[in-house]
Structure 1
Amino acid sequence: MNNKWLSIILFSGIFSLIGFIFFLIGLLMFRHINKKEKRCILKTYGIVKDVVKHKSYNSDSVKGSGYYPVFEYHVGDVTITKESAYGSGKPRYKKGQNVEIYYNPQKCSEYYIKDDKLPHILAKVFTIVGAFLIGIALVSTVLIFILYK
Structure 2
Amino acid sequence: MNEDTKFLRIFGSIFAGIGSIFAVTGIIIGLNTRSFVATAIPAQGTIIDLVPRSSTDSNGYHSSYVYYPVVKFTDRSGEPTVFESKAGSDPPAFSKGQQVEVLYNPQKPNSAMINSWHEFWLLPVIFTSLGLIFVLIGGIVLIKSFPRLMSFK
TM-score (structure 1 length as normaliser): 0.83
The offset of 1:74, in angstroms, is 1.2
Partner of 1:126: 127
The offset of 1:87, in angstroms, is 2.0
Encode CA deviations 1:59-108: one digit per residue, 9 max, x unaligned. 54364542211111112442211111122343111111001122222222
The offset of 1:145, in angstroms, is 2.9
Identity, in percent, stands at 29
Partner of 1:23: 23
| Matched-pair contact (CA < 8 Å) for 1:50–1:71 | yes
Distance 2:10 2:143 in 1: 14
Partner of 2:69: 69
Distance 1:90 1:35 in 2: 30
Two-structure CA RMSD over aligned residues (Å): 2.4
Partner of 1:46: 45
| Matched-pair contact (CA < 8 Å) for 2:85–2:114 | no
The offset of 1:25, in angstroms, is 2.0
| Matched-pair contact (CA < 8 Å) for 2:5–2:145 | no
Partner of 2:36: 36
The offset of 1:141, in angstroms, is 2.1
State the aligned residue count.
Answer: 147
TM-score (structure 2 length as normaliser): 0.81
Q: Which moved more, 1:32-41 or 1:56-65?
A: 56-65
Partner of 1:136: 137
Distance 2:94 2:117 in 1: 12
List alignment gaps of at least 5 residues for structure 2.
Answer: none
Kindly report structure 1 stretches of 4+ aligned residues shifted beyond 6 Å: none
| Matched-pair contact (CA < 8 Å) for 1:12–1:138 | yes
The offset of 1:132, in angstroms, is 1.0
